[in-house]
Structure formats: structure tokens, C-alpha cells
Structure 1
Amino acid sequence: MIKTAEAPGGDYRFIPGVSQYSGGVGALPGFRIERVRFANPVPLRDGFARAADIIRNTGRPLTALCACELRSPAPFTEQGFKDFNASYIEILKSWGLMQDGVNPVARSNVCPKIDPPSEPSVHAFAFTTAAAADAPASFVVSGSGEEQEGHATYRERTIRFGDTSPAAMREKAQWVLGEMERRMSAFSAAWRDTTAVQLYTVHDIFPFLEQELGRRGALRSGLTWHFNRPPVVDLEYEMDCRRVHVECVDDRTA
């Protein structure tokens, strides 16, 4: 059983992960997760400022932020990714979200192949709000690529590193699907509970779409396939998923 911790002042619990993100989040009883997507990606600091206005206007504290979806211009090198994460974490610290160095916020960060943003930007974010005691459970699982934890470099921990053959892509997908299932289990959930599943790759998924995603139940609510790359060079396949019943689009242009 995966252990979770309660986010101070956030009204959600999370799967402890690495410094840049948690493995996923689930609203506590009496609360629900709401998601806001920007019509167009907003540069990182401006995006967080806009998110702060939206959260505060609902009467919630900034510590209610529980997840964000980012877009970057192109995959980072390993050092570039470390540098980006350091600046990202500083924003969370300023919101009071990281206590004792623990990051409760779920995250996806991917790179559109077509029409990418000119700088790292916010695509969407989620936060907790009060709900009826019998409101359905809600959760957001962080994005995961085909890299395993516990090794020094991505080369050492990536499934079929450097291989994008059909067989390799299927093996990558199998690992990521298993990681999604493992993380959902922390919230007593499975594919049947999801309201949205997102996939990020620029490679052909049709050879294994039915057998792997379909047979496992990942397509029950459809699939949103973003023609995006994962955030680090040589990663090729990423997914995230969620159970969120309230979503909206912020289409302000300024």
C-alpha cells in the first residue's frame, strides 16, 4: 500500500515523491478538486499569478493548490531540468506549499511539438474547494514517463533508453500504465474511476492502443492524446490521469 501524507492547509493528501512534484493528490472528505485550464499557455510566473487570483477569488488559500500542468518549449537536458525545477520550486515555496522541503503538488510538464510556447508556461492547474460531505472522491495523478526511480541518471533508469521501435514503445507504455495504476491505488482508485486520461508522445500508439490501454480500462472515458514530448531529452512516452468533476476554461487574453 502506498503511503500518503496530508498537505498542511491544503485539504488534500498526497503521495510523497521527489522535490519537484508529488506522485499524486486526493481531496480530503468534505472537499473536491477543481481544475482550470488556460485557453492558451501563460508564462510561468504570470500563470501562477493568474492562478493565485482565481484561487483567492473563491475564498481559498494558496495552499489549496494541488496540481499543475506545465508546457515547455522543448525537452530539457538533465541539468537544464534540474535548473528549471529549482526556479519552479521557489514559486511553490513563496506560496507556503513546501514545508521541510516536501512538495505536495502534483505536476505534469510536457513539450508540444507543434506551436510550443516560447518559455515554460502554465497550461492548467487544480485546487481544492469545499464540497458536500457525500461529494464523490477526486484525485489527480502526476505525469510519469518511462523512467524508473532510484538510479543516478535518466540513461540508467529509462525503459528501453534510446529505442523508439514499436516493441520498445509498447514496453514503455506498459511501464507507465503500471505506474498510473500504482499511484491511483493510493486513493483506492482504478481506471474505472477516472474522468480523464492524458497521453503525451509523438510516436505511434496504435499498435498497442487496444491491447494495452483498452484492455486495461484506460480508455473508458476516452483518451486525450497531446502531440507532446516528455520534459527530458530521450524520454518518449508520458501519461497522467484524474477524477475531477468540476473543470473550466479561463479564456482571458490578459
Structure 2
Amino acid sequence: MTSTDFAAGNYRFIPSVFQYSAGAAAHPGYHVERVTFRAPVPLKEGFQQIAAIIRAAGRPLTAFCACELRSPAPFSDQGFRSFNEVYVETLRDWGLYDGKTNPVARSNVCPELAPPAEPSFHAFSFVAEGDAGAPSFVISGGAEARGGNAPYAERIVRYQETGAEALRDKAAFVLDEMESRMAALGHGWADTTGTQVYCVHDIHPFLADEIVKRGAARAGLTWHFNRPPVIGLEYEMDCRGVAVERVL
């Protein structure tokens, strides 16, 4: 993996699929700010609120660098693509998406309990002026699916298996992916301020050894009773190194 500059937003990113990048990191002299909504905000309204917050900070909309979405239930492959095609239209309008490349990192998971009625924003990040004196980056959510254009069912690690060893293999795959993404931005677990795991299965046996051994739990690991966004996926993870966080 390699990163590329997005000068209009004062950050660099790891190119990935059309709907999101694999991660983003602020340029020197800038830092990432993360804003969490107290309750999920539907997509259209969320974009409007995000635009107002970024502009109030004196920043262009191209400073939008990451978001965390919550969806009602996992999508089919086609349903996920259809949702993403709608999602990126606002990014196109904001000068972020050029029809092929998207610099904005993203997580999108589905709460098992009290899900939102429609896809909504849980949190977002943008690049602000000023050096925060610490690494400043956001890594996109990654699930246990290998890259490529084949249907998810053909790319998912140990598809439709949810036993302890299968979950271990899924989590190991995702941990490797997180580490590769951070490395592409010049960072590692020691630089993280937050690590989140999304799974509806008992993953304590894995958390107790591999995640701790790798250092992924050092920055306040949290586990969320959520499912990844596509039918068949069981495990997702994201992480960040963010010096400034606030709740609306």
C-alpha cells in the first residue's frame, strides 16, 4: 500500500475502492478533528450539518477526511453498491470524489440493537489548521474480505463460519489489514488513540491474546455489538490517532 496527497484537503490518503479510501492522515501543520453526534443523523441531514461545522471552522469542504456510518441492516452486494453510488454524489459535489478516486476514509456498521431507520452518520473527521503535536490519522473500517471484484461470498475469510477458530482467523486477517494501512501512512499501534471492534459474536478469546500481543488494545480498545455492512461479514475493525475529539 502507498499513500497519495490530497492537497485540497491538506491530507494524504491510501487509495482504495470508489466509495472510500483505506485511511487518511493530516499534512504537517494540520491535525484531524473527530466529531461525534449524540444520536445518529440521517445521511442527507448529516451532510448538511457536517458542511456547516467544517465551514464554521474556516475550512473548505475538501477538509472532510473520514466518517463513521450506521446502517439499519447488512446490505446485499448490489444493495451496498447502490447505497455507495448515492453516498459519493455529495463527495463529488464537495470536490472530493472525481469519479474514480475517493480520499475520504469510512466505517459503516449495523447496530444489532436499536439500529437507525436509515443510513446515518455516527461521527466524522476533518482536517483543521495547526499542528496538534502528535500523529493525526484515521484508518477506514476493514472487514474479513479479500480485495477484488468478485462477490463478497467468494472473498470472505471462512465464509459463513462463526466458531472460535474461524473468528480468530477473521480477526487476524483484519488486524493484518489495519497494520498494513497504518504502515502506509507511517504509523502503527503505538500512535493510535482509539481502536474499535465490531462483532456480534463472543470474541474474548481472541481479544485476550492476539489483539493484546500486537498492541491494538493499548489505546482504549472498545467492542461494539454491531455487524459489518454486507451480508456474510462477521468482523470489522477501525482505528485512529486523533488529538482533538468532541461530541455535539
TM-score, normalised to structure 2, is 0.98
2:8 alignment partner, SS class: coil
- After TM superposition, give the deviation of residue 222 of structure 1 in Å: 2.0
> Match of 2:55?
56
Tell whether the 8 Å contact from 2:135 to 2:191 is kept in structure 1 after alignment. Answer: no
> Match of 2:92?
93
Q: Mapping of 1:211-230 within 5 angstroms?
A: 211-230=209-228
Which one of the candidate residues 177, 196, 199 is aligned to 2:175? 177
- CA distance in structure 2 between the partners assigned to 1:30 and 1:187 by the alignment: 16
- After TM superposition, give the deviation of residue 122 of structure 1 in Å: 0.5
- After TM superposition, give the deviation of residue 206 of structure 1 in Å: 0.8
Which structure 2 segments of 5+ residues have no match? none
Tell whether the 8 Å contact from 1:27 to 1:33 is kept in structure 2 after alignment. Answer: yes
- CA distance in structure 2 between the partners assigned to 1:200 and 1:58 by the alignment: 31
> Match of 2:111?
112
Which one of the candidate residues 223, 231, 234 is aligned to 1:233? 231
Q: Mapping of 1:145-156 within 5 angstroms?
A: 145-156=143-154
> Match of 2:202?
204
- CA distance in structure 2 between the partners assigned to 1:227 and 1:157 by the alignment: 23
> Match of 1:42?
41
- After TM superposition, give the deviation of residue 99 of structure 1 in Å: 2.4
**Per-residue CA distance 1:115-140 (angstroms, 9 max, x = gap):** 000000000000001113x7222010
- The amino acid across from 2:95 in the alignment is G
- CA distance in structure 1 between the partners assigned to 2:138 and 2:196 by the alignment: 11
Tell whether the 8 Å contact from 2:92 to 2:99 is kept in structure 1 after alignment. Answer: no
TM-score, normalised to structure 1, is 0.96
- CA distance in structure 2 between the partners assigned to 1:88 and 1:131 by the alignment: 30
- CA distance in structure 2 between the partners assigned to 1:5 and 1:208 by the alignment: 34
> Match of 2:81?
82
Tell whether the 8 Å contact from 1:29 to 1:137 is kept in structure 2 after alignment. Answer: no
- CA distance in structure 2 between the partners assigned to 1:204 and 1:212 by the alignment: 15
> Match of 1:33?
32
Large movers: runs of 4+ above 2 Å: none
**Per-residue CA distance 1:85-104 (angstroms, 9 max, x = gap):** 00001111111111252100
1:118 alignment partner, SS class: coil
Tell whether the 8 Å contact from 1:30 to 1:135 is kept in structure 2 after alignment. Answer: no
Which one of the candidate residues 133, 136, 139 is aligned to 2:134? 136
Tell whether the 8 Å contact from 1:197 to 1:240 is kept in structure 2 after alignment. Answer: yes
Which one of the candidate residues 181, 185, 203 is aligned to 1:187? 185
Tell whether the 8 Å contact from 1:38 to 1:124 is kept in structure 2 after alignment. Answer: yes
Say if 2:166 is the partner of 1:168.
Answer: yes
Tell whether the 8 Å contact from 2:14 to 2:24 is kept in structure 1 after alignment. Answer: yes
Tell whether the 8 Å contact from 2:197 to 2:223 is kept in structure 1 after alignment. Answer: yes
Task: Say what the alpha-carbon RMSD is for the aligned residues.
Answer: 1.0
- CA distance in structure 2 between the partners assigned to 1:185 and 1:121 by the alignment: 30
1:221 alignment partner, SS class: coil
Which structure 1 segments of 5+ residues have no match? none
- CA distance in structure 2 between the partners assigned to 1:80 and 1:72 by the alignment: 12
- The amino acid across from 1:10 in the alignment is G
